[in-house]
Structure 1
């Protein structure tokens, strides 16, 4: 499959799925699990990772998540592509923690971060977006009492998740276009076109929602 070409004449980057990845169809045990159960498991894992101390428990938690990803038979090239940016951030954080608090704490922090990101990736890669948003809508039912429809809450979450990869892709394409013009050292040449395109994307999204009657009383 060929990439589309950008306005600068170079190849357009493939869609960036972000650290949470894209849904990967499958028939594994993880795929068949109820979305609510998987979301609850991710929540419990987050609590356990925060409560338990020490690099040993962190490594065990990461091993369990990796085993879950193996059971789900996720494509590792796509999963790794989403985790690599987080890994770069984790290394920087770990380096500071190593200097400030020692190697044990640094290892724990880095491994915990990778564990949570990989677990979230497994969740989104094995759960359809509509099923996950349906669970969030059910969980948000108490918000009706404060005037916020649960469906609106779920839609807002979906728009945020969609906006993140669009923002990253738009910024990378603007940077490539600036580099092609010899302006790669000018932040303005990257930020201004990216901001204009994101505002246009926001307007287009708002128009699409309005055309469907969403957001009206």
Structure 2
């Protein structure tokens, strides 16, 4: 597992492909899906993404886990488009988003975080002439990625405390503890970086 718990170890062709090739293919495919602006193309991309999961050693649960957080957004987008009187556009946009997210999830689950960071560090090397330090870019990305599970963990802890206190119907009470938890984590991370001489 990676530090964000998304990487699924394996030896499939998807796992063996270099991170750069996967990201380039992802960019090309998603651009083509959006440029086509066609419902059937988007649906074909969704089907292809679902079929690629077993080829990469990932089951249907992995695809469902990837799509689940997107469902509320798809519902809002679909409702807005339908209310605007454009049902076909609602279906097309939702299919495009689902395809893009499924393909992105596939790349994430078959690529180690260390490979991804090394790739971004290499891509940032030409920016040295502008005073950008590639290793700092990689560090920034690593910290950003690390913040995702930290935020999820803070939210989980706040929700468990909320339920344990028997509170119901006032979810806004969870916001302040989450923010406090994230600030404490950020302070601890800053102190750790300072202790290692990273300013």
Shift of 1:77: 2.3
TM-score, structure 2 as length reference: 0.90
- The answer on 1:114 being equivalent to 2:114 is no
- State how far apart, in whole Å, the 2-side matches of 1:22 and 1:86 are: 16
Match of 2:169 in 1: 185
- The answer on 1:52 being equivalent to 2:32 is no
Segment drifting more, 123-132 vs 134-143: 134-143
**CA displacement 1:110-144 (0-9 Å, x = unmatched):** 11111111111111110111011111111111222
TM-score, structure 1 as length reference: 0.83
Alignment of 1:58-73 (within 5 A): 58-73=42-57
List structure 1 segments (4+ residues) > 6 angstroms apart after TM superposition. Answer: none
Shift of 1:101: 4.2
- State how far apart, in whole Å, the 2-side matches of 1:143 and 1:185 are: 50
Contact 2:53-2:59 within 8 A present in 1 as well: no
Q: Secondary structure at the match of 2:24?
A: helix
- State how far apart, in whole Å, the 2-side matches of 1:79 and 1:65 are: 9
- CA distance 1:143–1:101, change in 2 (3 Å): farther
Aligned residues: 197
For structure 1, list consecutive stretches of 5 or more residues without a partner in the other structure: 1-16
- State how far apart, in whole Å, the 2-side matches of 1:45 and 1:53 are: 13
Match of 2:86 in 1: 102
Shift of 1:188: 4.9
- State how far apart, in whole Å, the 1-side matches of 2:75 and 2:119 are: 34
Q: Secondary structure at the match of 2:187?
A: helix
Alignment of 1:1-217 (within 5 A): 22-215=6-199
- State how far apart, in whole Å, the 2-side matches of 1:21 and 1:100 are: 39
- State how far apart, in whole Å, the 1-side matches of 2:13 and 2:22 are: 11
- State how far apart, in whole Å, the 1-side matches of 2:96 and 2:182 are: 33
- State how far apart, in whole Å, the 2-side matches of 1:187 and 1:143 are: 44
Shift of 1:160: 1.3
**Which has a greater percent of helix?**
2
Shift of 1:213: 2.5
- State how far apart, in whole Å, the 2-side matches of 1:21 and 1:65 are: 21
- State how far apart, in whole Å, the 2-side matches of 1:214 and 1:43 are: 33
Shift of 1:68: 1.9
CA RMSD for the aligned pairs? 2.0
